[in-house]
Every structure is written in C-alpha cells, then in structure tokens.
Chain A
Amino acid sequence: MEDIKKLEEFQAKIDAEIKIEPKDWMPEDYRKHLQRQISQHAHSEVIGMQPEGNWISRAPSLRAKVVLLAKIQDEAGHGQYLYSAAETLGKSRDEYIEELQTEKAKYSSIFNYPTLTWADMGAVGWLVDGAAIVNQVSLQRTSYGPYSRAMVRICKEESFHQRQGYEIMAHMANGTPEQKAMAQDALNRFWWPSIMMFGPHDSDSPNTGNAVKWKIKRETNDELRQKFIDKTVQQAEVIGLTIPDPDLKWNEEKGHYDFGEMDWEEFWRVVKGNGPCNKQRLNHHKKAHQDGAWVREAALAYAAKQKEKQLVA
C-alpha cells in the first residue's frame, strides 16, 4: 500500500518536472535503469580516451597535439563527473569498473572501431561528439538531478570538441589530394557507426517504455538520430565531402532527410563483443587497472600510516 502511494507521489513529481534527488524515494527499477545508463555513459567517456589517445604521439603539429590532449582530458573529466553522479545511486566507482571489466556493463560501441589516420581525429570529434551532443542536450532535461546537472556541464565542452573535429575535417578536405582522401575515408568508416550510436529503431528498443514515462529519456532513438542527420548533412556539403549513403535525400514534405537502412547485423555483432577493437579496448583498460594496483595499494597504505601518526600525536 505504502509503495503504491510512494510511486504515485514519485510519478507526480516527474510529471510536474521536479528533479529526483539522491535522497528521494525512487522505484527500484528507476534506480537500476539510471545506474546502468549513467555508468555506461561514464565507461564510454573513459574507453573513448583510447581511440583518440592513439594519435596523441603522432599529432601533426604542436598545436594539434595540445588541442587533442586537452580534448581527451575533458573526456576523462566527463568520466569523473558521471561516475560521481552514478555513485549517488548507491554503488561505488570500483563496483561500476568491476562491472565494465567483467562485461556486465557496456560502453558505446563506437569506440570499438579503430582510428587509422589523422583524419579520424576529425571524424571522431565531428561525428561522434556531434552525435553525443544531440543525445546529451536532450538529457539535460532528464528527471534525475545529478545526471541532468552533469549533462549541462558536459554539453558545453562537447560542442567545443565537435567544432574542433569539424575544423580538422574541413582543413583536410581542403588540403592535398592525400589529405582529402583521408578525410573522405574517415567519413566513410565513421558515418554508419555514428548514426547507430542512437541505438535500435524505436520499434525494436526494449528499454524505452518506462524510461519515457519516468522522463529519463526525453526523446526517442529515432527522433534523436533524425536530428543528428539533419544537422550533419549540410556540414559535409560545405566542406565538399560525400556522406556514404546513396539513399540520403531531402524530403520536402517531412522537412527531414530520408536515409538508408543501417546494418543491424553489424550493430549487434559489435554490441555482443565482436567489433574490430572490443577485446583490445577492454584488455587495455584491464591492463592499466592491474598495472596500477600496487600504486593504489601504496597510496592507501601511506594514508593509513598518516592517520595513525595523527592519532598518536
């Protein structure tokens, strides 16, 4: 009885656009949904450091190196805020990381694709951060307070990343024939995985039901994907690159672009762990974690000794 009343009050708050805060009562499924979604988002920021980190040492100018380093540092910071937001739901960062490493938690599949040329630093910023922004702008209005606030902070930096990525692409598209070829190739490789970042079609998306009712998710996968495509097509045209979709066409009547069908077989294959870099990314993360174990132990031991000294003194 009491639970039904609490649930009604909870839904009333959601309907009145009042944010849910960590100490508030919430249904167990709401908590679980957010733990899963926010930690997945945090893991994505952290795993995403790898494909971009792959080019820091080879950045073609000192300015480009600094811009890339600063971007990756922002992503690490996003990981940090998001782990903190996820911790307010009653699980520690260590537990979340354990779930990542034991493959109970996922991260965005886009990071399971390799970065093969410098143009990929452009494509990742322009398309991957670009797609992330569309999703995250929408999540600024999500019903869970800490998540919503983390998104507001993160979105500002993401739009900066998107512009910097686009700048790299524009520069290369106007460069030597080799540079232009690299830029087009990067777009060819990253286009479809980027638009699949929004997830399956609404009709095939099992998690949408309660997430919409609870206003965790404010717009559906297909709505968000359409927004991203509409804003990106023109950007490609401006710099003279071709989006690798023969079915892409402006639909006057709908006021949107029509586009071709995505390869869902590939999508599920990568989600299930068989993308080109899934094993590499996870092993890299585990290795760094294991290599650092003695350092974390030493820091704890040192802190414990200091505490003891203070007590004695």
Chain B
Amino acid sequence: MEKKDALINYCLRLGDSSLILGQRMAEWCSNGPILEEDIAMTNLALDLIGQARTMLTYAGEIEGKGRTEDDLAYKREEREYYNTLLSERPNGHFGDTVVRNFLHSAFFYHLYQALKNSSDEMIAAHAAKSIKEVTYHLRHSAEWLVRLGDGTSESHNKVQESLNNLWEFTGDLFEMNEVDELLIKEGIAVDLNSIKKDWDKTVNDVLERATLSRPEDEYMQTGRLDAMHSEYLGHLIAEMQFLQRAYPTAKW
C-alpha cells in the first residue's frame, strides 16, 4: 500500500463517520423532546457535516482525480463507506441517541486531541478546529446521559438498555490495519491503542456520575476497516443520494 492511498482512506474514515453521524442527527429536526434540543441537535448535525466536508474535500484533493466533497458523499456505494459502525446506528429513542453520541463523541474527542499533533498539516488543522466542536458534543451528550441515568427509574432503565445494546459497536472504533500502521510511522495517524485508555476513563467517569453500569466487553462487532456495514447504512445513503442519482447531469 502506498502512503497516498492510506491517507485517502484515513480521511474517508474521518469524513464518513462525521457525515453519517451528522445525517443521523439531522433526522432529529422537529422531533426533539423540547425546542431547545431541536436547536442543539441541529447544531451537532451542522458541526458534523462541516467536519465531513473538510475531510472529503481533502480526500478528493489527495486523490487528484477531480472528485469533490459531493462526488464522494453522493456517488459512493455502501461498500466504499468507511464510517464507524456506531455512527450508523439508528436514532431510536432520545436515550439511544444520547448514548450513541456520547460513546462516539468521547472517541472523536480523544482522537482529535491526539491528531492535533499530526505531521499532516491539514489533518492537524482539522483536528484543532474540530476539537472545539467535539468538546461541546461530548459535554452535551454526557450531561444528558447523567440526567437520564440519574433521573427517574424509567429513564435509568431505558438508557442502561441503550448502553447494553450499543456496547458491541464500540470495539470497532479502535480497530486498526495496515493503513494505520503505515501512517503511524509517518507521524500522521494516531495509535488507537494509546487513546483507548483515555476513552475508557471518560466513559467510566460519566457512567459513574450517571449511576449506570458499564457492560462487559463480550463479542465486539467489526467492519469499519473493510467497509462492511449493517443493513441500516444502505437506506441512509439511498435517501441521502437520491437527487444526485436520479438526475446525474443536474447541478444543484
């Protein structure tokens, strides 16, 4: 594998995870439990899609075949998407979304903290900018997790169940392959083993405050590195790509 291909793949991983999670958050618009949450969740969606645009644009530039952010977002199929399995989980109820976002934001938070020192200037700048947004996402989801976990017995049971259901997708966040190996040597990528303990600490602290119990690490699903997804992703991208696919010659 060449460095260039590895770097493209790495940018797609970052960009796709933000895009898919952003698309999920946008589904909450007009469906939130209070108006303030509609506004907050729209904010998350805006940040995430903004992050995706930066990384997809960069991936297209490195590739050098003239593909734009939209070519990459709208004209790839599900087996070419490298987002985390966690990002594509359906919204479910508000508690499911809060847990998914919390686990994912904690991952992004520690990942971007480390990537601020990437030897790739674009990635370092992207991480430095995104860390501000992700800090807010982490705080927002952690605060809700604590409220729901330590709220009523109904809310406690609901989010504990969400956590139990989503836990098997957390292993995928930390999987690595030869892309990571090559880019770690170049000082571009981060060894995900090194941020795993920070992620663990953040998760454990918040779960404790939320009076929730951390599920056991039993079987962990994988797939992100090979663009292997759940059935949910195909529907999400079919909907997202509809206009570009239906009118291939149109400009929007």
Chain A residues within 8 Å of B, Cβ to Cβ:
46, 49-50, 53, 56-66, 69-70, 72-73, 76-77, 79-80, 83, 118, 171, 175-176, 178-179, 284-285, 288-289, 291-302, 305
Residues in B16-60 with C-beta less than 8 Å from chain A = 19, 23, 26-27, 29-39, 42-43, 45-46, 49-50, 52-53, 56
B202 within 8 A of A: no
Residue from A61, A285, A295 in contact with B94 in the complex, judged by beta carbons closer than 8 Å: A295
Query: How far does the alpha carbon of A73 sit from the alpha carbon of B36 in the complex, in Å?
Result: 10
Q: Which of B180-188, B214-222, B240-248 binds A?
A: B240-248
Give the chain B neighbours of A56 by CB distance below 8 A. Answer: 26-27, 29
Are A297 and B46 neighbours in the complex by a CB distance under 8 Å? no
Quick one: closest A residue to B27, CB to CB? A57
Are A299 and B29 neighbours in the complex by a CB distance under 8 Å? no
Residues in B195-251 with C-beta less than 8 Å from chain A = 239-240, 242-244, 247, 249-251
Q: Apart from A66-B53, A298-B154, what are 16 other A-B pairs with CB-CB below 8 Å?
A: A46-B35, A57-B23, A60-B74, A60-B243, A60-B252, A62-B49, A64-B252, A65-B49, A66-B46, A73-B46, A77-B39, A179-B247, A179-B250, A294-B154, A297-B155, A301-B152
Chain B interface, DSSP helix/strand/loop, else mixed: helix
A-B contact pairs, 14 of them (CB 8 A): A50-B30, A57-B239, A61-B244, A62-B49, A70-B46, A76-B39, A171-B252, A291-B94, A292-B33, A292-B94, A294-B155, A298-B147, A298-B155, A299-B147
Query: How far does the alpha carbon of A285 sit from the alpha carbon of B35 in the complex, in Å?
Result: 11
Are B150 and A305 neighbours in the complex by a CB distance under 8 Å? yes
Residues in B107-123 with C-beta less than 8 Å from chain A = none
Query: How far does the alpha carbon of A155 sit from the alpha carbon of B3 in the complex, in Å?
Result: 51
Chain B interface residue number, banded: 35 or more
Residue from B31, B52, B73, B251 in contact with A288 in the complex, judged by beta carbons closer than 8 Å: B31
Looking at the assembled complex, report how far the CB atom of A101 sits from the nearest CB atom of chain B, in whole angstroms.
14
Are A73 and B243 neighbours in the complex by a CB distance under 8 Å? no
Are B39 and A73 neighbours in the complex by a CB distance under 8 Å? yes
Give the chain A neighbours of B155 by CB distance below 8 A. Answer: 294-295, 297-298, 301
B69 within 8 A of A: yes
Give the chain B neighbours of A76 by CB distance below 8 A. Answer: 35, 38-39, 42
Query: How far does the alpha carbon of A229 sit from the alpha carbon of B57 in the complex, in Å?
Result: 42
Give the chain B neighbours of A296 by CB distance below 8 A. Answer: 33-34
Are B146 and A292 neighbours in the complex by a CB distance under 8 Å? no
Query: How far does the alpha carbon of A176 sit from the alpha carbon of B27 in the complex, in Å?
Result: 29
- As a 0/1 sequence over residues 113 to 151 of chain B, the CB contacts with chain A under 8 angstroms (1 = contact) are 000000000000000000000000000000000111011
Residue from B31, B35, B53, B251 in contact with A175 in the complex, judged by beta carbons closer than 8 Å: B251
Give the chain A neighbours of B147 by CB distance below 8 A. Answer: 298-299, 302
Are A176 and B247 neighbours in the complex by a CB distance under 8 Å? yes
A-B pairs with the 3 shortest C-beta distances?
A292-B33, A298-B151, A298-B155
B80 within 8 A of A: no
Chain B residues within 8 Å of A, Cβ to Cβ:
19, 23, 26-27, 29-39, 42-43, 45-46, 49-50, 52-53, 56, 69-70, 73-74, 93-95, 146-148, 150-152, 154-155, 158, 239-240, 242-244, 247, 249-252
Quick one: closest A residue to B52, CB to CB? A62
Are B152 and A60 neighbours in the complex by a CB distance under 8 Å? no
Give the chain A neighbours of B23 by CB distance below 8 A. Answer: 57
Give the chain B neighbours of A72 by CB distance below 8 A. Answer: 29-30, 42
Query: How far does the alpha carbon of A298 sit from the alpha carbon of B240 in the complex, in Å?
Result: 34
Give the chain B neighbours of A83 by CB distance below 8 A. Answer: 35
Residue from A50, A69, A294, A298 in contact with B46 in the complex, judged by beta carbons closer than 8 Å: A69
Query: How far does the alpha carbon of A292 sit from the alpha carbon of B74 in the complex, in Å?
Result: 33
Give the chain A neighbours of B239 by CB distance below 8 A. Answer: 57-58
Query: How far does the alpha carbon of A217 sit from the alpha carbon of B159 in the complex, in Å?
Result: 49
Give the chain B neighbours of A297 by CB distance below 8 A. Answer: 151-152, 154-155
Give the chain B neighbours of A293 by CB distance below 8 A. Answer: 33
Give the chain B neighbours of A300 by CB distance below 8 A. Answer: 151
Query: How far does the alpha carbon of A249 sit from the alpha carbon of B27 in the complex, in Å?
Result: 44
Give the chain A neighbours of B152 by CB distance below 8 A. Answer: 294, 297-298, 301
Give the chain B neighbours of A80 by CB distance below 8 A. Answer: 35-36, 39
Looking at the assembled complex, report how far the CB atom of A196 sits from the nearest CB atom of chain B, in whole angstroms.
24
Are B35 and A79 neighbours in the complex by a CB distance under 8 Å? yes
Query: How far does the alpha carbon of A46 sit from the alpha carbon of B236 in the complex, in Å?
Result: 25
Are A175 and B33 neighbours in the complex by a CB distance under 8 Å? no
Give the chain A neighbours of B27 by CB distance below 8 A. Answer: 56-57
Quick one: closest B residue to A46, CB to CB? B35
Are A284 and B34 neighbours in the complex by a CB distance under 8 Å? no
Looking at the assembled complex, report how far the CB atom of B56 sits from the nearest CB atom of chain A, in whole angstroms.
8
Are B33 and A295 neighbours in the complex by a CB distance under 8 Å? yes
Give the chain B neighbours of A61 by CB distance below 8 A. Answer: 70, 74, 244, 252
Query: How far does the alpha carbon of A255 sit from the alpha carbon of B250 in the complex, in Å?
Result: 40
Query: How far does the alpha carbon of A298 sit from the alpha carbon of B50 in the complex, in Å?
Result: 32
Give the chain A neighbours of B36 by CB distance below 8 A. Answer: 80
Give the chain B neighbours of A176 by CB distance below 8 A. Answer: 247, 249-250
Give the chain A neighbours of B45 by CB distance below 8 A. Answer: 69
